[in-house]
Amino acid sequence: MFAAIGGRSPRQLHAHDAVYRRWLLPRLRSGETVLLILETPQHAVAASGGVWFRPEQPRPEAPRSTVPYIFSMFTEPAQRKHGLAAQLLQEMLRVARQRGYRRVVLHAAPAARRIYRRAGFSRTWEMRAELTG
Ligand SMILES: CC(C)(COP(=O)(O)OP(=O)(O)OC[C@H]1O[C@@H](n2cnc3c(N)ncnc32)[C@H](O)[C@@H]1OP(=O)(O)O)[C@@H](O)C(=O)NCCC(=O)NCCS
């Protein structure tokens, strides 16, 4: 997914593989993340993505200390524009709803923004600063 989005060097992407695997595997085992895969009729991977039940501080309107965060949405180039990402997203929302959540968050890459908007997502006021020196 990061390679398709761009802006990272091959070296960064290569180094990221092992880091990501170390991060993901224990969370998959514990159920803190759920990965969904859509297959072609020939059982090849067509699209995939995950939901991470991410720790956050409880708020008055959301007393649980986790929020579902959708990540790593990717459709194989040959399978794009057939609605697979939209379908996967609906399945992820169903998983979150089933666990009793009423809000889902994500960071939207440009190629997926319209898909998220159609599914009811809106922009928020998250901000960030790059710390230098
Ligand atoms: C973004 C991405 C996941 C979308 O996957 P996808 O399976 O092609 O998504 P969908 O098919 O649901 O929707 C894509 C477009 O195809 C259109 N579409 C869906 N079914 C269609 C059909 N049967 N005929 C024609 N167009 C169709 C959708 O309306 C949408 O158009 P829009 O972008 O103008 O709104 C994919 O392009 C990708 O992997 N990109 C690289 C990684 C990335 O950016 N990931 C997002 C991280 S947030």
For residue 123, the model assigns a pLDDT of 97
- Say if 129 falls within a structural domain: no
Q: Which residues line ligand 1 (CB under 6 A)?
A: 1, 4-5, 47, 73-75, 80-86, 108-109, 111-112, 114-115
- Say if 13 falls within a structural domain: no
Taking residues 3-27, what's their average pLDDT?
95
For residue 75, the model assigns a pLDDT of 98
- Say if 66 falls within a structural domain: yes
- Using an 8 Å Cβ cutoff, are 38 and 46 in contact? yes
Residue 94's CATH number: 3.40.630.30
CA of 115 to the centre of ligand 1 (A): 7
For residue 63, the model assigns a pLDDT of 86
d(CA 49, CA 83): 14
CA of 76 to the centre of ligand 1 (A): 10
> What global pTM score does this model have?
0.94
For residue 72, the model assigns a pLDDT of 95
Phi-psi region of 41 (alpha: psi -120 to 50; beta: other; left: phi over 0): alpha
pLDDT value at 85 more than 90: yes
- Say if 22 falls within a structural domain: no
How many domains would you assign to the chain? 1
- Say if 24 falls within a structural domain: no
Give the residue numbers spanning the domain of 91: 32-118
- Using an 8 Å Cβ cutoff, are 72 and 48 in contact? yes
- Say if 76 falls within a structural domain: yes
> For 59, which DSSP code?
B
Q: Which ligand 1 atom lies nearest to the CA of residue 86?
A: 12
47-59 pLDDT per residue, tens: 999 999 999 999 8
94-128 pLDDT per residue, tens: 999 999 999 999 999 999 999 999 999 999 999 99
- Say if 84 falls within a structural domain: yes
- Say if 14 falls within a structural domain: no
